[in-house]
Amino acid sequence: MRTWLLLVVAFTSVCGRPGSPRDAGQGGVRKREFGELTELGKIFRRCRDKTTPDLSAKDGLARCLRKHRVAEERSGREGAKKGRKSKNSHKKAVTCGETYYMKTGEKRIFRVRANMKVCAIFVHGDGRTDLEMNCKTFALSACRKEYFFVQDQTSEKQFCGNKGPGKMTGRRALYLLYERLRRRRRRPRLWCSIEGVEPGGAGSGVDDGHGASPGVQAQGCGNVCGQAPAGAGASRIVGGEEAGVGEYPWMARVEISLGGVGMACGGAIVTTTHVVTASHCVDNEFLEITVKAGLHDLSSYQENTTQVIKAKQVLQHPMFSPMTSANDIALLTLEAPLRWTAGVGPVCLPPDAGFEGRVAVVTGWGSLGAGEDFALRACLRAGPHPTKLNEVAVTITDQEMCEEAYSSSVFSVTDKHICAAASGKDACQGDSGGPLVLKENGTWVLIGIVSFGRGCALKGFPGVYTRVSSYDTWLLNSIASGAC
């Protein structure tokens, strides 16, 4: 753990604060240090972090950007005028420090020239347009000398060397920054096109606003996800009630080993080769991870129904913070595909909706004992643990109330969390990464991932879950090769 924290600190101090020669939309030039975040970058990050991602131009993210004069909202007449194509308008090089408002069919080119030391731009769609970026040429030096920084509505990442970003679709806004510390012998090679496209295109992973449908699921999963036996439901974990065998086919046990020391978390199956869990469960690069699907009783191994497969890749959210547990979500890729059976199947990704007042279900093999200590909910042996999968029904709480309850905590609650509680009922230590689900339009959807809480079932402190709808696009882009 200590090694990982040091790595995070080192990366943040050296690579995590890219900058720009000019704050696009801010109208000023100022002195800056290599790797320093510009005002534009700060505004975009701040707006993105305080609102739910994957939003249209008329809601939270766009309103916040317009408030800070980063994005524009234009009338139909003005938009039509601006969108009128002129000669060679389909292929225009960007001007560093500018903000671009794009309509479907328009295209811009971000290209690094030999004498260029730094260049930053901001691009956003008109509310009816998504952005697609494709970097066909990419060859830079080491990050400490030269890098390309990409920020969108859900994440941010730095690229250097010969590994650039792949094709990116379903973006609503993009902040791009190239920076070079000193002159290099070889000319940098960076050429990326940004194009306005129709929203929800193939592979974009954009929520189409109609709930849990094939349009927001991985390939082929829309018709098979979220299926559970009739009568699937719950009453409690803390206080203890056993789930039915095969009642929650998407439930996975994630067993983690590091140097002979083991722990366990929960997980949710989303494709034949992908399981979603909490990032704090897998925050060390030297872990050995085994996923067990179809498991019910830990004390009696069910050879005929349990599938045991190792994870070959762990993808943590690029903005996960072990210090604050922000963006506490990770995706496991399995070495071999799962087989769908009566007791093993995927859960649906959720619609971007509010669920306050709705009753949801959380499942796991975590502690049955309540407590008052504040903690992440990874497998600390606190209180008695059941050998059989347990379930509990909890009610989604008022968001403002939950944020207030944890206002003095290091692990603060934001719009990217969802909270749930019931008297004497809660997830607990050992349930981290497990699914919080509810039934929506006849199918079960994954609305939350067990993350942290003050004690377990402690009055006034709801359980806190990662809000999965905030990460639908990131998940779908990450599981582009996964299917059902």
pLDDT one-digit tens code per residue, 246-259:
999 999 999 999 88
- pLDDT attached to residue 158: 81
pLDDT of residue 31: 59
- Tell me the average pLDDT across 293-308: 89
Pick from 63, 69, 191: nearest CA to 127: 63
Q: Lowest-confidence range among 126-140, 203-217, 338-352, 456-470?
A: 203-217
Active-site residue identified among 280, 296, 317, 417? 280
Query: For residues 299 and 6, which has the higher predicted lDDT (pLDDT)?
Result: 299
pLDDT tier for residue 6 given thresholds of 50, 70 and 90 = very low
Instruction: Compute the average pLDDT of residues 351-368.
Output: 86
Residues 203-220: tens digit of each pLDDT: 333 232 333 333 378 888
C-alpha separations of 318 from 136, 354, 359, 475 in Å: 23, 25, 31, 12
| C-beta of residue 393 within 8 angstroms of C-beta of residue 234 | yes
In this structure, the strands spanning 274-277 and 330-334 are antiparallel
Question: Over 70: is that where the pLDDT of 163 sits?
Answer: yes
Rounded Cα gap, residues 321 and 358, in angstroms: 29
pLDDT digits (tens, 9 = 90+) for 390-441: 998 899 999 999 999 998 888 889 989 999 988 777 778 788 999 999 998 8
- Predicted local confidence at residue 234, as pLDDT: 63
Question: How confident is the model at residue 65, as a pLDDT?
Answer: 79
DSSP for 408-453, written as a single string: TSSS---TTEEEEEBTTB---TT-TT-EEEEEETTEEEEEEEEEEE
User: At 332, is the pLDDT very low, low, confident or very high (cuts 50, 70, 90)?
Assistant: very high
- pLDDT band at 59; cut points 50, 70, 90: low
Residue 135 CA to residue 129 CA, distance in Å, equals 20
Average pLDDT, the chain: 78
What is the mean pLDDT of the segment spanning 382-392? 78
Residue 471 burial (CB count, 10 A) = 24
How confident is the model at residue 272, as a pLDDT? 95
Per-residue confidence band for 63, with pLDDT thresholds at 50, 70 and 90: confident
Span 34-43, pLDDT tens digits: 766 677 877 8
Q: Do residues 202 and 132 lie in contact, with contact meaning Cβ atoms separated by under 8 Å?
A: no
Which of 49-53, 360-364, 457-461 is the most confident on average?
360-364
pLDDT, one tens digit per residue, over 233-246 is 765 444 558 899 99
Q: Which residues contact 401 (CB under 8 A, 6 or more apart)?
A: none
Pairing outcome for strands 118-125 and 99-102: parallel
Residue 133: which pLDDT band, with cuts at 50, 70 and 90? very high
The catalytic position among 432, 469, 470, 478 is 432
471, amino acid identity: Y
- Any idea where the domains of the chain sit in the sequence? 17-74+86-197, 214-478
Residue 325 a catalytic site member: no
Task: Tell me which of 58-72, 206-220, 297-311, 350-364 is least confident.
Answer: 206-220
User: Is 432 designated active site?
Assistant: yes
Contact call for residues 22 and 97 (beta carbons, < 8 A) = yes
Range in 158-162, 318-322, 357-361, 398-402 with the lowest mean pLDDT: 158-162
CB atoms within 10 A of CB 244: 15
pTM of the predicted model as reported, rounded to 2 decimal places? 0.58
297 CB-near residues (< 8 Å, 6+ apart): 387, 388, 389
23 pLDDT more than 70? no
pLDDT > 90: percent of the chain: 34
Rounded alpha-carbon distances, angstroms, from residue 6 to 2, 201, 279, 434: 6, 40, 17, 27
Q: State the pLDDT confidence band at 232, using cuts at 50, 70 and 90.
A: confident
Handedness of CA 285, 346, 169, 41 (dihedral sign): negative
Q: SS3 breakdown of the chain: % helix, strand, coil, rounded to 5?
A: 15, 35, 50
CATH homologous superfamily of 17-74+86-197 equals Spermadhesin, CUB domain (2.60.120.290)
pLDDT of residue 375: 54
CA–CA separation, 111 and 89 (whole Å)? 16
Query: Domain 214-478 adopts which CATH fold?
Result: Thrombin, subunit H (2.40.10)
pLDDT of residue 88 exceeding 80, the answer is no
pLDDT of residue 13: 29
The values of phi and psi at residue 403, to 5°, are -60, -40
Sign of the alpha-carbon torsion through 401, 466, 16, 101: negative
Whether residue 416 contacts residue 397, with contact meaning beta carbons closer than 8 Å, is answered with no
Residue 468 has pLDDT above 60, yes or no: yes
Amino acid found at 105: G
Q: What is the dihedral of CA 425, 428, 433, 438, to 10 degrees?
A: 0
Sheet holding 118-125, edge to edge: 99-102, 118-125, 173-180, 146-151, 156-159
Classify each residue of 133-148 as buried b or exposed e, where b means 16 or more C-beta atoms within 10 Å of its C-beta: bebeebebbebeebbb
Q: Is the distance from CB of 461 to CB of 406 less than 8 angstroms?
A: yes
Q: Of residues 328, 352, 426, 431, which has the active-site annotation?
A: 328
3-state secondary structure 116-136: CCEEEEEEEECCCCEEEEEEE
Structure tokens of 19? 């900058």
pLDDT at 73 (0 to 100): 54
> In terms of Cα–Cα distance, which of 218, 107, 109, 128 is closest to 172?
128
Instruction: Please check whether residue 180 is in contact with residue 117, taking contact to mean a CB–CB distance below 8 angstroms.
Output: yes
pLDDT for the residue numbered 349? 94
Structure tokens at 192: 């990326």
Phi, psi of 332 (to 5 degrees): -100, 135
Selected residue with higher pLDDT from 108 and 2: 108
Asked whether residue 77 carries a pLDDT value surpassing 70, the answer given is no
